[in-house]
Structure 1
Amino acid sequence: MTAAKAPVTKRATPNQAYQAILELIVDGQVTPGSPLRLQELADSIGTSMMPVRQALRQLEAVGVVEIIPNKGAQVRPISTEDLLDTYRTRIALEGILCHRAAENFTPADKERAMSALEEQRAALQDDDHSAARGAHREFHYAIYRAAGTPWLLRSIEPTWLNSERYRIASEHDGDMLTLRRTEHEAILKACTSHKPEPAREALRSHLISTVNHIDLSLGQRLTILTSGPCGY
């Protein structure tokens, strides 16, 4: 495993190690199916093995890492069925959040979401894809927090993190990034206008479009799979 060092100290907490390892995975520096060796990871991110061991358990809990008895940890492999299941689940759960957010959306929610979009645009201009991913997440979560359903918000974390592993290819596609911006603005407009069903559908279209970019035939399958009222 070859990876750039992250700014983590010898006394890093498990959460800091978690964030550093997760960044290596979603940035593609550690590829799906690759082994995650404790000492190599500790050396790579500049910490001891204890927080790394705890971080790997946390990453296993959210489904990004597998810990195999007598073998150790590895990045969970990606597959067609995993991608479809991930995005189908996102459409179902995040669609509910979008629907409820549109019912409750305030000017402050709009300001937070617009600020995140601007931060994403600026980060992409600077070719800072890590910051762009963070701003992209903040845009969606600014909307989802407006739904006022903390437990549902917590439930989307595993599929969100898993989908980040599939999104990496589109991060460097200028035309696709322009399309994503338009889709984000459509979601925000529906929420700002207090239109729950259009907000849900804009989110669904956005996620299907993301899958289309990975594989058009998969996007077509996802469209069929999520044609029901709840995305299932």
Structure 2
Amino acid sequence: MLNENILRKVRKALALASNNPSEQEAQSAMLMAQRVLAEHGLSIQDVQESENEQEKNVIHEHATEYGKTIWWKKRLSAIVAENFRCFSYINKRSNASQIRFVGLDSDVSLAIEIFKFACETIQYHLSKYRQELKESGYRKVEVTYMGNDYLKGYLRGLDQKFKEQVEKNNWGLVLVKDALVVQEHESMNLKKSKPTGASFGGNNGAYERGFTDGKSFDSSRKMIAN
């Protein structure tokens, strides 16, 4: 089926990138996954509008297990959701929480794959950046603050890259969320998230480093075979 074919191509791209964890490979995988979804969006709609139209199922699926939800994962989930026709939200239970996505079945499956891969990629590059800071003699508290500045820049760079790709390829209408998904989200009456409690150092160098890494990718590299 078409949806399964899309999933297969995205999984192949992420597998190729994960074997070579560079900034360019990682960002290429995420952006190319968005491209595949967008390029096949109209075809998916055509299938849904055909005589063999299948029922649309709006699902809620968790992307993280219950525990402490890190601030940057909340922001990342919102970025991914926006670019894969879903909504993300925090589901709380007692003193724990988890990140969940709501959307059509195939869209949620893609969003969660991209989210998890992005988390691994960000953690890899953050760890490398923090190690550089430690080796340069920065104190522990400075490493923490500058690491958060780096993350803030990284997420901003990744978000901007997604938006530029959407604008460049005129994918705005393709990535519009299904009406059933919007209706489901509105019916949930979710409260707005509280401001992050993370501490930032306001270091422009760390932010710019993260921003550059978040936007960096090699557009000439063919990640997904037809």
Q: Same fold, TM exceeding 0.5?
A: no
TM-score (norm 2): 0.30
The structure that is strand-richer by fraction is 2
Question: TM-score w.r.t. structure 1 length?
Answer: 0.29
**More helix by percentage:** 1
